[in-house]
Chains A and B, each alone.
Chain A
Amino acid sequence: MGLDVRMPMGLMFSVLGALLLVYGGLTLGRPGTAPTGVPINLVWGLFILLFGLVLIFLARRAR
Chain B
Amino acid sequence: MAPTLQWIDYAIILLYFAFVLGIGVVLRRYVRTSEDFFLSGRSIPAWVTGLAFISANLGAQEVIGMGASGAKYGIATSHFYWIGAIPAMVFIGIFMMPFYYGSRARSVPEYLKLRFDEKTRALNAVSFAAMTVLSSGVSMYAMGKLLNLLLGWNFDTSILLAAGIVLAYTFLGGLTSAIYNEVLQFFLIVLGFAPLVFLGLREVGGWSGLVSRLAARATSNGLPVDAYTRSWAHMGHAADNPIGIEWFGLVMGLGFVLSFGYWCTDFLVVQRAMAANSMSAARRTPLIAAFPKMLFPFLVILPGMLALAVHPASGVRATGGGPPAAVTQDASSPAGLTESNGIVPPKLDPTTGAPLRDLRGNIVLDYDLATPMMLIHFFPAGLLGLGLTALLASFMSGMAGNVTAFNTVWTYDLYQGYIRPGAPDSHYLTMGRVATVAGIAISVAAAYVAAAFNNIMDFLQLVFAFVNAPLFATFALGMFWKRASGHGAFVGLIAGMLGAAIHHGISLPVGASVGVKGGYLGTWVTFPSELAQTFWTAIVAWMTCFVVTILVSLMTTAKSAEQLQGLVHGLTPSMADQSRVWYERPAVLAVIVLSATVLLNVVFF
Residues of A within 8 A of B (CB): 1-3, 5, 8-9, 11-13, 15-16, 19-20, 23-24, 27, 32-36, 38, 40-41, 44-45, 48, 51
Q: Hey, what's the 0/1 contact readout for B179-205 against A, CB within 8 Å counting as 1? A: 010011001000100010001001100
Bound Cα distance A15, B15 (Å): 8
Q: Are A20 and B379 in contact (CB under 8 A)?
A: no
Q: Are A36 and B314 in contact (CB under 8 A)?
A: yes
Q: Are A44 and B195 in contact (CB under 8 A)?
A: yes
The number of residue pairs between A and B whose CB atoms lie closer than 8 Å in the complex comes to: 94
Q: A5-B184, A9-B184 are in contact. Are A32 and B317 (CB under 8 A)?
A: yes
**B292 proximal to A (CB < 8 A):** no
Of B187, B203, B317, which one neighbours A36 at CB under 8 angstroms? B203
Bound Cα distance A34, B203 (Å): 12
Q: Are B199 and A48 in contact (CB under 8 A)?
A: no
**B386 proximal to A (CB < 8 A):** yes
Q: A3-B180, A12-B184, A40-B195 are in contact. Are A24 and B382 (CB under 8 A)?
A: yes
Q: Which chain B residues lie closer than 8 Å to A9 at the CB level?
A: 183-184, 187
Q: Hey, what's the 0/1 contact readout for B375-401 against A, CB within 8 Å counting as 1? A: 000111111001000000000000000
Q: Are A23 and B15 in contact (CB under 8 A)?
A: no
Bound Cα distance A23, B16 (Å): 17
Q: Which chain B residues lie closer than 8 Å to A5 at the CB level?
A: 23, 48, 180, 183-184
**Residue among B183, B195, B203 with most chain A CB within 10 A:** B195
Q: Which chain A residues lie closer than 8 Å to B183 at the CB level?
A: 5, 9
Q: Which chain B residues lie closer than 8 Å to A15 at the CB level?
A: 15
Q: A3-B30, A3-B180, A40-B199 are in contact. Are A35 and B380 (CB under 8 A)?
A: yes
**B588 proximal to A (CB < 8 A):** no
What are 16 sample pairs from A and B whose C-beta atoms fall under 8 A apart?
A: A3-B23, A3-B27, A3-B180, A8-B26, A11-B19, A12-B19, A16-B386, A19-B8, A20-B382, A20-B383, A27-B380, A35-B314, A36-B378, A40-B199, A44-B195, A45-B382
Nearest B residue (CB) for A20: B382
Q: Are B191 and A51 in contact (CB under 8 A)?
A: yes
Measured between C-beta atoms, what is the minimum distance from A8 to chain B in Å? 6
Q: Which chain B residues lie closer than 8 Å to A33 at the CB level?
A: 316, 380-381
Q: Are B380 and A41 in contact (CB under 8 A)?
A: yes
**B223 proximal to A (CB < 8 A):** no
Q: Are B380 and A8 in contact (CB under 8 A)?
A: no
Nearest A residue (CB) for B23: A8
**B67 proximal to A (CB < 8 A):** no
Q: Are A41 and B314 in contact (CB under 8 A)?
A: no
Q: Are A38 and B16 in contact (CB under 8 A)?
A: no
Measured between C-beta atoms, what is the minimum distance from A41 to chain B in Å? 4
